[in-house]
Amino acid sequence: MRAFALVAALALLSGSALAQLTPAETAAGWKVLFDGKDTSAWHAYKQDKFPAKGWTVEDGALHVGGGGGGDLMTNAEFGDFELSLDFKCSKGANSGIIYMANEKNDASWQSGPEFQILDDSGAGAKPEGRHAAGALYDMVAAPADKVMHAAGEWNNARIRMQGGVLQHFLNGKKVMECRTDVPEWKEKIAKSKFKDYAGFGVQPKGHIGLQEHGNDVWFRNIKVRDLSVAMPGQIALFDGKDMNQWTFFLNDNGKFEDVWSIAEGNIACKGNPVGYIRTKEKFQNFVLKLNWRFSPITKKPGNSGVLVHVQAPDKVWPKSIEAQLQSGSAGDFWNIEEMKMTTDTARLKGRNTKHLRANEQPIGLWNEYEIIVDHGNITLNVNGETLNSATGVEDIAGYIALQSEGAEIHFNNVRLAPIGK
């Protein structure tokens, strides 16, 4: 999320410790777990309140220094979730963010996977190790080209778990991705130090924990969103049952039923004739989420797109901004009929702005688009990763459209949350 990433970056640069949510973050379902003062969302491991020792609030951050307070746990449990926080290590310090954990064992790490926190340099660790910062501890290594700031400097960690896809981000860059819903996940556990702990890494939900490991570590700007629940004020544009909120336009006087249908709770598009379905209602500032996949039977790559700010008249193609869905190019922008917008000139060619990198699941599997249209800014997130952004966009109301563009494609769970001022 561009707005979220920008706020996080400014916080790191400015030294701001108080967590604040933008209107776009609020619309997307983010909530503050620690705002720099209030510790009521947390308790000590196997206790019912904030630890009496070991953990303190200092200058808007949670500080742990090995004082015997144990791991700090969220009161709430999370299944599919996204967590973001800033952390700072003393020289050589070791800690971690535990998630999907219960409180049945001697320590939280015995039930939940861990985002490793480590001052790699001070600890003499190789940055690409399975015990290095950003790694899925003892299971999946972090890359050597990650960005980890020095001891005493703030870093940003983000963890995302959705639909069996687990991701770690460090300072804005994805450093680990794996699936937890495949046999290989249990194989990873079996080859790790966690193999003898029953239930490790396979719970459907659990607590998030901040680890006490005997070293000085600080945490701040702690935010989370539950990806299994509706966004605040969410509007279901397609609920798997009917398409009453949509109309259509097709070339060659095509008929709706020749292209579009509802199959197994999904919108199914045959791809020809070319055209689109669009909402009957106009929207201006919003968080739009939807899932898409190309045919899981033929597994053929294809083309499609999501159009926002669609203006009349209906035609191929109307004035709008396209969030591209062509295989391998999801996250590209296409500017249709010179819609006002500014993108990265290094990736701009004509009306197309290329994405930063590919981040799609294999053909036939579901992907998620999160498109944030926020008062002149548009952000494209594909499967949890920000791949493109635009500023200076015309802040106008328009329709939302899903393209029929020559390939079989399916959509589901199309939902939108308006963004306030």
pLDDT greater than 90 at residue 255: yes
pLDDT greater than 90 at residue 15: no
Q: pLDDT band for 17, please (50, 70, 90 cuts).
A: low
Handedness of CA 199, 173, 184, 137 (dihedral sign): negative
**Tokens for 259?**
């292209």
Rounded CA gap, 408 and 421, in Å?
Answer: 38
Rounded CA gap, 58 and 39, in Å?
Answer: 12
pLDDT greater than 80 at residue 10: no
pLDDT of residue 421: 78
pLDDT digits (tens, 9 = 90+) for 23-78: 999 999 999 999 999 999 999 999 999 999 999 999 999 999 978 889 999 999 99
Q: pLDDT band for 16, please (50, 70, 90 cuts).
A: low
Q: Stretch 392-409: mean pLDDT, rounded?
A: 97
pLDDT greater than 50 at residue 2: no
Please say whether the beta carbons of 133 and 122 come within 8 A.
no
Q: Closest Cα partner for 211 from 109, 85, 290?
A: 109
pLDDT of residue 7: 44
- Domains along the sequence of the chain with CATH: 2-226 (2.60.120.560), 235-418 (2.60.120.560)
Pairing between strand 266-269 and 61-64? Answer: unpaired
pLDDT greater than 50 at residue 9: no
How many angstroms separate the Cα of 259 from the Cα of each of 294, 307, 363, 419? 15, 18, 21, 32
Q: Stretch 85-90: mean pLDDT, rounded?
A: 98
pLDDT greater than 80 at residue 360: yes
pLDDT of residue 19: 80
| Letter string b/e over residues 17-52, b meaning 16 or more CB atoms within 10 A of that residue's CB | bebebbebbbbbbbbbbbbbeebebbbbbeeeebbe
Please say whether the beta carbons of 125 and 109 come within 8 A.
no
**Tokens for 225?**
């969103």
**Residue whose token pair is 């804005």:** 172
Q: Stretch 356-374: mean pLDDT, rounded?
A: 97
